[in-house]
Chains A and B, each alone.
Chain A
Amino acid sequence: MTKMEATRDGYGQALLELAENEKVVVLEADLGKSTKSLHFRKAYPERTVSCGIGEQNMLLVAAGMAASGYIPFASTFAIFTERAFEQMRNGVARPNLAVHLCGSHGGTHTGTDGSSAQSIEDLAIYRTLPNVTVIHPSDSVSTRLLTKQLASSNSPSYMRTARNKTPVLYENASKDTIKIGKGVELKEGNDIAIIACGVLVSEALKAAESLADEGINATVIDMHTIKPIDTKLIDVVTKRCGAIVTAEDHSIIGGLGGAVAEHLSTTNGAPLERIGVHDRFGESGQADEMLELMGLNATHIATAAKKAISRK
């Protein structure tokens, strides 16, 4: 049976492992139990800054600490990071201070909390900021590895994690497999390239299985880094497959699909279908129900793949 874990747990584990670096500090806005920074807080309370329910303050306290030589990891729900967007823009990205912001509970997969907690625009808005790396890992292992890599970065980042459990895809993966800025080819095929991120990577793998039953060989890419996006890999799979589907639990505007479309517009291109939230808000429902309602699961991805192939 497939091992299931939430990516936010990978984040919490990484913070603990990073603690041996005394410059690593953690900032919370009352949601450490949810974002999983609580493990660090319990073990290293002196290096954890409670900012109360005040995200704007948290981002800039982190910036001030980064400017004084610390490596701050600040987290809250993805949706509430957006409240501090201008702080991220003017106070962190503009002076290029290496603050690492993590938004947990991203996407409609967040589930029954409903639309107020389901960020579907975070990847898009942070992607517009110069200097900011944007990451959305697919499983707990890659989340842990990517978070640890961020600690040695000299620029700021935004990472989205998910609330609910998803299959562990990289049980025995090494840090050489998972690198910031490098997409991972999980399956190689010649007919269609499915480029996915976050919770939809496992859905993309399921879609590839069902497509294989119909004689369609799909490439599946885990594009965990949305910015800078791995354009070399996009070019390789575009040439090989000639048609692309992007899949993300995020608005079809401006996220992974937007980034891939922008890149394809500078090349000879290929038919592109985007799986994502179609310019609407979510509602309360179980994670799998939300993926079905929003048109994001393996069935939808497989249908989109066939449509893209038909447009070749």
Chain B
Amino acid sequence: MKGHPCWPSSVGDTMTTVDELREVARICRVHIVDMVYRAQAGHPGGSLSEIDLLTALYKTQLNVRPNEPKWGDRDRFILSKGHASPGMYAILAEMGFISVKDLESYRVLGGICQGHVDMKWCPGVDFSAGSLGMGLSFGMGSAIAARLDGSARQTYVMLGDGEIQEGSVWEAAMAAAHHELGNLNVILDRNRIQNDDFCETQMRMFDIPAKWRAFGWNVMEIDGHNMEEIVNGLEFLSNSNEGPSILIAQTVKGKGISFMEDNPSFHGAAPNDEQYSLAMKELGVSQ
């Protein structure tokens, strides 16, 4: 859809079109499959479901400086579903926080790309994840800090849908609304699959948007693989300043790789040689 309205990119003065976003997301998908294949471990499913959202977030919204990752007034992004680290490493590489070469260190001893994203190891990572249900509380802390600082910086937290089965998420949801944190934004990757099986089997969550509304949040639902909807949804987040906001993105686990899509087996499993070749072919990589 060339010629579609553009959005200012966070990097430099360039403008980013949805086509460009789609292309960055495709390249990130290649990185994700590469990382997991090379490590023969990791979490491709949730990385592939989140990557369109992460691409648009980094390219159109986040006010960050890849060459100055600890810049104090940066927007904060917290990947609470920290197992989906290949997705985050991929976009960090495409943004220039780390190099594409760094992606080879995923799950390798001493590598900056730890199994779960870690602020002590990797530039551009603002939260040490790995234990589900923690990122929203941490994000609430950075949002309160921004308010105390009188800064307009925003905090974005990505949650998984299985993750919101953790009770502490709802402690944070209640507290963020109580403190009227308009600078706190959540993106929920609603990919419908968790470690063992479909969420519907493991723990039914019923009406998720209604739950967040009832907790006092602004809610918008989108298709998490439709770039126009994603960009509009992110605009909704940044424009909603009366209380915390959540973008509930309907996604497909393993999106982009046919045999991984909607398949609980690829929550946390690496492709074999044959599957890797097929995946690369589907991603348009000639081998």
Judge if B179 is at the interface, Cβ distance under 8 Å: yes
Q: Which of A57-65, A106-114, A198-206 makes up part of the contact surface?
A: A57-65
For A67, give its contact among B142, B148, B175 (CB under 8 Å).
B142
For A69, give its contact among B72, B127, B138 (CB under 8 Å).
B72
Q: Are B120 and A95 in contact (CB-based, < 8 A)?
A: yes
Q: Which of B39-47, B129-137, B247-255 makes up part of the contact surface?
A: B129-137
Judge if A297 is at the interface, Cβ distance under 8 Å: no
Cα–Cα distance between A50 and B174 once the two chains are bound (Å): 11
Measured CB to CB, the closest approach of chain A to B175, in angstroms, equals 6
Q: Are B140 and A68 in contact (CB-based, < 8 A)?
A: no
Given A57-B168, A57-B172, the answer on whether A90 and B128 have CB atoms closer than 8 Å is yes
Residue of B nearest to A64 (CB): B141
Judge if B146 is at the interface, Cβ distance under 8 Å: yes
Given A25-B148, A67-B142, the answer on whether A90 and B134 have CB atoms closer than 8 Å is yes
Judge if B152 is at the interface, Cβ distance under 8 Å: no
Cα–Cα distance between A66 and B126 once the two chains are bound (Å): 12
Cα–Cα distance between A54 and B166 once the two chains are bound (Å): 13
For A57, give its contact among B118, B119, B145, B175 (CB under 8 Å).
B175
Given A60-B138, A61-B138, A91-B134, the answer on whether A68 and B145 have CB atoms closer than 8 Å is yes
Task: Write out, one digit per residue, whether chain A residues 12-34 have a CB within 8 A of any chain B CB (1) or not (0).
Answer: 00000000000001000000000
Cα–Cα distance between A232 and B175 once the two chains are bound (Å): 46
Judge if A96 is at the interface, Cβ distance under 8 Å: yes
Task: Write out, one digit per residue, whether chain A residues 89-129 have a CB within 8 A of any chain B CB (1) or not (0).
Answer: 01100111000000000000000000000000000000000
Residue of B nearest to A99 (CB): B141
Q: Are B171 and A67 in contact (CB-based, < 8 A)?
A: no
Residues of B within 8 A of A70 (CB): 145, 148
Q: Using a CB-CB cutoff of 8 Å, which residues 171-196 of chain B contact chain A?
A: 171-172, 174-175, 178-179
Measured CB to CB, the closest approach of chain B to A43, in angstroms, equals 16
Judge if B224 is at the interface, Cβ distance under 8 Å: no
Q: Are A64 and B138 in contact (CB-based, < 8 A)?
A: yes
Judge if B264 is at the interface, Cβ distance under 8 Å: no
Measured CB to CB, the closest approach of chain B to A160, in angstroms, equals 23
Residues of A within 8 A of B133 (CB): 56
5 tightest Cβ-Cβ pairs between the two chains A and B? A64-B141, A60-B137, A68-B145, A54-B171, A57-B171
Residues of A within 8 A of B (CB): 25, 46-47, 49-52, 54, 56-70, 72, 86-87, 90-91, 94-96
15 contacts between A and B (CB under 8 A): A50-B178, A51-B171, A52-B174, A54-B171, A54-B172, A54-B175, A57-B137, A57-B140, A60-B137, A61-B140, A64-B140, A65-B142, A67-B119, A87-B168, A95-B128
